[in-house]
Amino acid sequence: MAHNQQIEEILKAWWDWDHCAPHQKAEARRKLYSLLEAAIGDRPVAPNQLLEYLSPRYREFRAERRKADRIRIAQSVLRR
């Protein structure tokens, strides 16, 4: 799958928002929505609509991140 840098940044910010500490949620949300608004520009799309359109890609992104995390953890255990 071809990767679009802007979409990758949005997915990373979405992940950060989903996984940050509660006291960091507001800042993480601001960052995500700032990226969404920059991507939208003057198009007639709301940020929440863009999130909805990107949700299948975000599910793939989450699965890839979780897999990478499991591999990283397993490798760190095996190095000991």
Closest CA to 55 of 41, 68, 36: 36
pLDDT in tens, 59-73: 999 999 999 888 888
User: Residues with Cβ < 8 Å from 23, sequence gap 6 or more?
Assistant: none
pLDDT in tens, 12-55: 999 999 999 999 999 999 999 999 999 999 999 999 999 999 99
Under the banding of pLDDT at 50, 70 and 90, the label for residue 74 is confident
Identify the pLDDT of residue 73.
Answer: 86
How far apart (Å, rounded) are the C-alpha atoms in residues 62 and 11?
9
Q: In this structure, are residues 7 and 15 in contact, taking their beta carbons and an 8 Å threshold?
A: no
Query: In the chain, what are the domain boundaries?
Result: 5-79
